[in-house]
Amino acid sequence: MKNLKNYSKKNIAIVIGSVLLVLIAVLAIVLGRNGKTGILGEDNLPDNLRFKEQYESLNGKKDDSGKEYVKVEINEKNPVIYKSDAEILDVLNKETAIVFFGYESDSWTRNIIDPLLQIASDNGIEKIYYVNIANIRDEYSVEDGKLKQDKKGTDAYYKILDFLGDKLDAYYVYDEKNKEYATGVSRLEPATVIAVKDGKVMDYHKGTVLSQKDPSVALTEKQRNEMLAIYQNLYEPINENLCPSEGC
């Protein structure tokens, strides 16, 4: 009888332990689906480390075309702050700030990380707002010679387009014969960096430099220096507002 009781207690303990593990796993999945900070994973990291983890996680890996992603090395003390497409609207209209649009698997974006963060470090910039645009934009394609919208952008995305106005390029798509079709709307491209002040765009730069034809090839030292100069000039119109209290 004593052994039977011990056996029952062990079984109960095992069952309780298993139930707890299942509940923890379900909770982690639910929180992840709701876009909230999860029990496990990179979303539980502060923004600077989350940014480092997301971008460096692709180092040594290849994209869908078989090309290796440009390697990036990001300092843990980077000033990146994540904002959603909706949250960035308040920044654009109310703050003096540098805002960076992109996503980690985009080759152009990966190329601008080093010079952008270098200028931030050189000038004591304490915040660079980052918006991941991978899943917020509209998407068009051509089918049987006709243009069609495959996906609508978010409401906030269209408001970002309105804010940036004529700074943006028109959005074109192409069929299998490389025939061009105009969508009639603008397109926010990754690797876009802007300086805003008093609800206005003070400066704007998209991509890298004209001499870089293949974004899967890292910037040369000369191209990197060009990018440093571009971002330094972009920063200048708002530098008084972004310098820390002790000065730049």
CATH number corresponding to 45-242: 3.40.30.10
The mean pLDDT value for 9-29 works out to 49
Residue 97 has pLDDT above 90, yes or no: yes
User: What is the DSSP secondary-structure string of 79-144?
Assistant: -EEE--HHHHHHHHHH--EEEEEE-TT-HHHHHHHHHHHHHHHHTT---EEEEE-TTTS-EEEEET
Chain mean pLDDT for the chain: 87
226 band by pLDDT with thresholds 50, 70 and 90: very high
CB 142 within 8 A of CB 150: no
DSSP state, residue 169 = E
Q: Among residues of the chain, what percentage have pLDDT more than 70?
A: 79
The mean pLDDT value for 215-223 works out to 97
Residue 12's pLDDT is 53
**CATH 3.40.30.10 domain span(s) along the chain:** 45-242
How far apart CA 74 and CA 117 sit, in angstroms, is 8
Residue 39's pLDDT is 38
pLDDT digits (tens, 9 = 90+) for 162-182: 999 999 999 999 999 999 999
Residue 248's beta-bridge partner residues?
none
pLDDT digits (tens, 9 = 90+) for 31-87: 443 333 333 455 689 999 999 999 999 999 999 999 999 999 999 999 999 999 999
The mean pLDDT value for 178-201 works out to 96
Helix axes 155-164, 85-94, angle to 10 degrees: 30
Residue 99's pLDDT is 98
* Nearest Cα residue to 65 out of 106, 111, 120, 12: 106
Amino acid code (one letter) for 211: S
Residue 137 has pLDDT above 80, yes or no: yes
How far apart CA 114 and CA 49 sit, in angstroms, is 15
Phi, psi angles (nearest 5°) of residue 200: -130, 150
pTM for this one? 0.80
CB 231 within 8 A of CB 116: yes
Q: Which residues contact 133 (CB under 8 A, 6 or more apart)?
A: 85, 101, 102, 103, 157, 188, 190
